[in-house]
């Protein structure tokens, strides 16, 4: 893979690969784990609930669930349009007409920063394939808690399957790189506005780029200090709590 694109051909996919496909004119990407035989395990909300706020905001983004309707169901997956949680879908349904990309693990800081768009790579190394497949299979059977666009979304799910890492605090965003890039961009815009009257344009641009890069880097799962390696079996030990609450409790116990 290169700096410009993470696009990959289907024939080059390997078991346990973290893959994704861009949605809504590249506004956001949907992520999952390739488990072989043309199938992908992924975490999603039902149609009209992608943001998961329970408000009208949920209608602004299309669901990442497969788009086949009840009238023309996929011969492999049937109709999963209204289904949410952890699903197993064929590659065509997962992509929903989009291109196929692979998420990269164990990249260098320089490579990470060169990929200006978040949600494409991480400094964290991937665990062995057997561990990745075990987590995805276990979560397909037992669930991954409630979907939350800020702390427990499809990218968070895929990163956990690959690394076993969960955020141990409930005061920050989850492991999602694409969300971290949006937060960094928003913070940069606010800070840049405040500095606009006190610096030159070139200085302002340099500071803005630096702030954005630093914000993305410190939010990456590979460098954060508020993460915990959690065996997948422990996630079902306290079913009354969501993922962030369970991980916080585990951190206190450990």
Catalytic sites, residue numbers: 30, 42, 154
Kind plus residue range of the DSSP H or E element containing 39: strand 39-44
Number of H helices, E strands in the chain: 7, 7
Q: Which residues of 152-189 are buried (b: 16+ CB within 10 A; e: fewer)?
A: bbbbbbbbbbbbbbbbbeeeebbbbbbbbbbbbbeebe
Q: Tell me the C-alpha to C-alpha distance, in Å, between residue 158 and each of 104, 144, 169.
A: 12, 11, 19
| Pairing mode of beta strands 101-102, 85-90 | unpaired
Phi-psi region of 212 (alpha: psi -120 to 50; beta: other; left: phi over 0): alpha
Q: How far is CA 101 from CA 17, 84, 155, 157, 222, in A?
A: 10, 23, 13, 17, 20
The total of other beta-carbon atoms located within 10 Å of residue 61's CB is 17
224 close to 167: Cβ distance less than 8 angstroms: yes
Q: Look at the chain and count its residues.
A: 254
Rounded to whole angstroms, how far apart are CA atoms 31 and 23? 11
């Amino acid at each position: 893979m290169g700096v410009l694109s993470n696009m990959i051909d289907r024939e080059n996919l390997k078991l346990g690969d973290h893959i994704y496909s861009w949605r809504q004119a590249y506004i956001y990407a949907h992520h999952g784990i390739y488990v072989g035989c043309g199938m992908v395990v992924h975490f999603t909300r039902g149609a009209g609930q992608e943001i998961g706020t329970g408000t009208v905001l949920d209608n602004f983004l299309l669901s990442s669930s497969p788009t086949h309707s009840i009238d023309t169901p996929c011969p492999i997956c049937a109709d999963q349009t209204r289904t949410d949680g952890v699903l197993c879908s064929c590659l065509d349904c997962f992509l929903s007409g989009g291109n196929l990309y692979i998420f990269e693990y164990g990249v260098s800081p320089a490579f990470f920063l060169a990929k200006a768009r978040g949600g494409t790579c991480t400094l964290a190394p991937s665990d062995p394939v057997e561990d990745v497949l075990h987590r995805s299979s276990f979560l397909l059977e037992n669930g991954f808690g409630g979907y939350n666009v800020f702390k427990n979304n499809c990218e968070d799910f895929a990163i956990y399957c690959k690394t076993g890492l969960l955020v141990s605090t409930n005061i920050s965003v989850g492991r999602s790189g694409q969300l971290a890039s949006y937060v960094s961009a928003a913070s940069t815009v606010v800070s840049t506005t405040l500095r606009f009257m006190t610096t030159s344009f070139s200085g302002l641009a340099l500071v803005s780029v630096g702030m954005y890069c630093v914000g993305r880097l410190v939010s990456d799962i590979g460098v954060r200090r508020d993460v915990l390696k959690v065996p997948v079996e422990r996630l079902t030990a306290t079913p009354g709590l969501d993922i962030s609450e369970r991980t916080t409790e585990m951190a206190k116990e450990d």
